[in-house]
A and B are shown apart, each in its own frame.
Chain A
C-alpha cells in the first residue's frame, strides 16, 4: 500500500517539456531514500495547464508543482516525500497565498470555472492501468447497459440528456444512435473519429492519452445499442502516445473480458480495431474516414446515403467523435437529467476547448456550455500577455470563424456561435490580440485548406487555391476594391458547390473576417497599409533621425546589410534591401526605429 501518490503528467505537452526524465529521476531519488514501497509514481494524462508543464501533483496533500525541473526532484523527494514539508517555492504560484498558505488547486482561476466530465479522469488516473479506470467507476455503465437496459432505453436517456456531437456539427447524439439502430442489417459498425486535424486543437488527443478506456466503454455501449459487434477507432499516426495507450487499453479490455465474447455474461459480443490515419485533414470528414478504413484512398463521397444507412463497407455505421463518447458513460450512470441540468437551452453539458494563441494559460479547459468568451479568456485563460488588447477569438479551426470583441460576452453554445458566423467546431480556441492581422489569419487558414483539399471536387480544389491567391494579393497591397467583391462571391460559390464539409466550410475564415474586420481588408486594399503591422509587403521600417544617436547597433544587427550610417550620426534604412525582419527595432535602445 502506498501512502503517497505522485502524479506526473505524461500528456504530449508535458512529455515535450521533459516529463519522462522527471519520472526517471523521481524513481532514482525515491530508491535512494528507500521510499519506493511508500510512494508510487503515476504517469497520467493531461491536466490542462500545459503552459506550466511539466506538471506534478503530490497526494494526499494535493500539492501542485509546476514547471518542474529535473534538478528540483531531489529536493522534492527529500523535503516533501520524506519529511513531509511541501516545497512552497516550487508550487504553482496561484496555490500559495501571500501569507504562505497552500490553497486548493480547485480554487485557482484556471480550474474554478471548469466542470470536468469528458476530462474527469485525465490527469488523475494512470491511463495504462485498466483497474484504475474501473476504480473511478469505469465500465460500470457498460455493465449496467448490457445487463439491465434495452437499446431503446439507452437511446431515450441519450435523447433526453440533450447531448450533441462534439466533433463540430452538433447533431443530436440520441437521434444519430436511433437512426443507426433502425436500419436493419446483419452486420453494422461503430466507429470513433479520432482524426483530430484542426491546427491548434488537441482535445481528443488528450482524452485518448489520459483516459483511453472511456472511449472503448462508450463504443461497446454503442455497439450494444445499435446492434453492432465490431468497432473501429480511426486515429492519426501523428499521435504516437495516444496510439500506444489505445493499444494497451484494447489489450487490457480484452484480457478482462470487457471486449470480446459474451460481455458480462449477457450474450453480447464486441471488439474494437485500431486504424491509423496518415494525417490527411479530409479524413476527419465522415465519409472520407470510412473510405480510408476500408483501405482506399481517403476521399469523401456524396451524402445521402448517410453512414447510418450505408456506411463502412456499405453497412449501417454509427460514427461519433472522441469527446462525444467520453460523455456517454457518465450520462448513463448519472442520468439524463443530471446532464441536461448543465448548459444552455439547446446545448447541454460541457465542452472541452484547447486554448491557444495570445493567452497566458495555454492549455485544455472544459467549461459548461453557456460560459462567456470573456470568462474563458480573462478568468480561465488568465488574460492576454503583455497587457495587449483582445481583438478576436477563432473557433472551429479552418472551418470556423472569428468572434470579435463586440461579442465578448456571448454565452458559448452551438447556436450562438453559428449566429455570429463562427462555429463550435471540435474545440480549438485561438485568441488573437491587436498584433494579429485578420487578413493574414484568413490567409493562414486558406493555405491550410489548399494543402489539405483532397482534390476530388473542383470547387474545393481550384476554388480554395484562387481564394488563397486573392488573399495573397490583398496582403501584398496589389488588390482593388473589385477584388474584394469577387472574393466574397467566390466564397459563396465554394460553399454551395463543394462535395464535403471541408470545401463547404473552407471559406468561413474569409467570410467571418470580412464580416467583422472589413476595415482591415479596406486598409490593405485602399491605403496599402496593414494596421496590425504583420503583412511584410506593406511594411516599412524607418529610423527617426531626431531619436537616433548613431550607436551603430542596428547596422551591426541587420542581417541584410540594409542599414548604413556613421558613428554618432543618424542612420538610414535602405527599403530595397530591407527584408522587414524587425531585428533592428528589437535591438534599438532609443526607440528610434518605427514600423509603419
Chain B
C-alpha cells in the first residue's frame, strides 16, 4: 500500500458490497415479484440485472429485494419502486433491458419511465 488513494479505491469498491449489510434506512426500495408466476415469466434475469446495476453504479440508497405474488400475474415480471414520501410506482412486463433503463432514468435521475408502468401499458 503506497498511498491513501489506493486504500480509498479499495474501500469504495468494497463499500458497495459491505454497504448491503446495514439495516434498512429510508432509502429507495426496489421490489421484484418472485412468485411462481414471476419466475415463470422471467423475473430472475430482471432481478439479477437490477441488483448488478445498482451495485455497479454505487447506488447505496437503493436496496433490491424480492416479494411474492401481488395478484397481477398476467403482467409479470413486475418491479415496484418505493420511495419514502412518494407514490409507489409499478412497472410491468419487465425485461433486463427495461430494468437497466429504469435504473438510469428512475433510480438515478428520478424520472418515472411512464411507458413501462402499469397505467402506461393499460392506457
Name A residues whose Cβ lies closer than 8 Å to a Cβ of B.
1-5, 7, 37-38, 57, 59-62, 82-85, 104-106, 124-125, 131-132, 134-140, 143-144, 147, 256-258, 262-265
B34 near A62 with CB under 8 A, answer: no
Name B18's closest neighbour in chain A (CB-CB): A135
Contact, CB under 8 Å: A265 / B3: yes
CA distance A138 to B10 in the complex (A): 10
Closest residue of chain A to B53 (Cβ to Cβ) is A1
Distance between A407 CB and nearest chain B CB, rounded to angstroms: 35
Which chain A residue lies CB-closest to B62? A60
Contact A140/B7 with A83-B68, A84-B67 known, Cβ cut-off 8 Å: yes
- Of B11, B13, B23, the residue contacting A62 (CB under 8 A) is B23
Q: How far in angstroms is the closest Cβ of chain A from B116?
A: 21
Q: Is B108 an interface residue (CB 8 A)?
A: no
Output the nearest chain B residue to A257 by Cβ-Cβ distance: B1
A selection of 30 A-B contacts at a CB cut-off of 8 Å is A1-B55, A2-B51, A2-B55, A3-B50, A5-B20, A7-B21, A38-B47, A60-B24, A60-B63, A60-B64, A82-B39, A83-B34, A84-B32, A84-B68, A85-B67, A104-B24, A106-B23, A131-B10, A131-B13, A132-B17, A134-B7, A135-B14, A135-B15, A135-B17, A135-B19, A136-B15, A139-B7, A140-B7, A140-B8, A140-B11
Instruction: Identify the interface centre among B8, B11, B24, B39: most chain A CB within 10 Å of its CB.
Output: B11
Chain A residue nearest to B15 (CB atoms) is: A135
- How far does the alpha carbon of A409 sit from the alpha carbon of B16 in the complex, in Å? 43
Distance (whole angstroms) from the CB of A125 to the closest CB of chain B: 6
CA distance A263 to B48 in the complex (A): 39
Task: Take A134-B11, A258-B1 as given contacts and tell me if A124 and B21 are in contact as well, using a CB distance cutoff of 8 Å.
Answer: yes
User: Given A3-B64, A61-B65, A136-B18, do A147 and B51 touch, yes or no (CB 8 Å)?
Assistant: no
Total interface residues on B, using CB and 8 Å?
A: 38
Verify if B41 is at the interface (C-beta below 8 Å from A).
no
CA distance A140 to B14 in the complex (A): 14
Given contacts A38-B48, A83-B34, contact A1 B56 (CB under 8 A): yes
Closest to A40 in B: B17
9 further A-B pairs in the complex, CB-CB below 8 A; given A38-B51, A131-B14, A264-B7: A3-B65, A5-B21, A60-B24, A82-B39, A84-B66, A124-B21, A134-B11, A143-B4, A257-B1
Kindly identify which residue among A3, A84, A135 contacts B11, using a CB–CB cutoff of 8 Å.
Answer: A135
Q: Say how far A264's CB is from chain B's closest CB, in angstroms.
A: 6
The minimal Cβ–Cβ distance linking A82 to chain B, given in whole angstroms, is 7
CB neighbours (8 Å) of B32 from chain A are 84
**CB of B53 to closest CB in A, whole Å:** 9
CB distance from A251 to the nearest CB of B (A): 15
Tell me the bound Cα distance from A135 to B35 in angstroms.
Answer: 34
In the complex the two chains form, is A84's CB within 8 Å of B34's CB?
yes
Residue of A nearest to B5 (CB): A143
CB <8 Å contact, B7 and A82: no
Minimum C-beta distance from B79 to chain A (A): 12
Contacts of B4 in A (CB 8 A): 140, 143-144, 147, 264
Q: Which chain A residues border B31 with CB–CB below 8 Å?
A: 84
CB contacts (< 8 Å) of A258 on chain B: these are 1
Cα–Cα distance between A2 and B68 once the two chains are bound (Å) = 20
Top 7 A-B pairs, shortest CB-CB distance: A84-B66, A135-B14, A3-B51, A257-B1, A60-B63, A135-B18, A1-B55
* Complex interface bits, B32-62 against A, C-beta within 8 A gives 1, otherwise 0: 1011000100000001101110011000000
Instruction: Decide: B48 and A3 in contact? CB cutoff 8 A.
Output: yes
Cβ contacts under 8 Å, A265 to chain B: 2-3
- With beta carbons under 8 angstroms apart, the residue of B21, B22, B50, B66 that contacts A83 is B66
Does the CB pair B3–A60 fall under 8 Å?
no
Give the Cβ gap from A187 to chain B, nearest Cβ, in Å. Answer: 25
Most central of B13, B22, B23 by chain A CB within 10 Å: B23
Which of B1, B35, B67 is A264 in contact with, Cβ under 8 Å? Answer: B1
Residues from chain A with a CB closer than 8 A to the CB of B22 are 59, 62
Chain B residue, CB-CB nearest to A125? B18
Distance, CA A82 to CA B33, complexed state (A): 11
Nearest CB of chain A from residue B49's CB, rounded to whole Å: 10
CB distance from B117 to the nearest CB of A (A): 21
Write the B85-120 contact mask toward A (1 if CB under 8 angstroms, else 0). 000000000000000000000000000000000000
Q: Min CB distance, A120 to chain B, in Å? A: 12
Q: Are A82 and B14 in touch, CB under 8 angstroms?
A: no
Q: A82-B34, A263-B1 are in contact. Are A137 and B51 (CB under 8 A)?
A: no
In the bound complex, residues from chain B placing their C-beta under 8 Å from that of A139 are: 1, 7
**In the complex, which residues of chain B have a beta carbon less than 8 angstroms from the beta carbon of A1?**
16-17, 51-52, 55-56
* Cα separation A85 to B38 with both chains bound (whole Å): 14
B61: min CB distance to chain A, Å: 12
Docked complex Cα distance between A83 and B63 (Å): 16
- Judging by beta carbons under 8 Å apart, are A83 and B14 in contact? no
Write the nearest CB–CB distance from A103 to chain B, whole angstroms.
Answer: 10
In whole Å, how far is A135's beta carbon from the nearest beta carbon of chain B?
A: 3
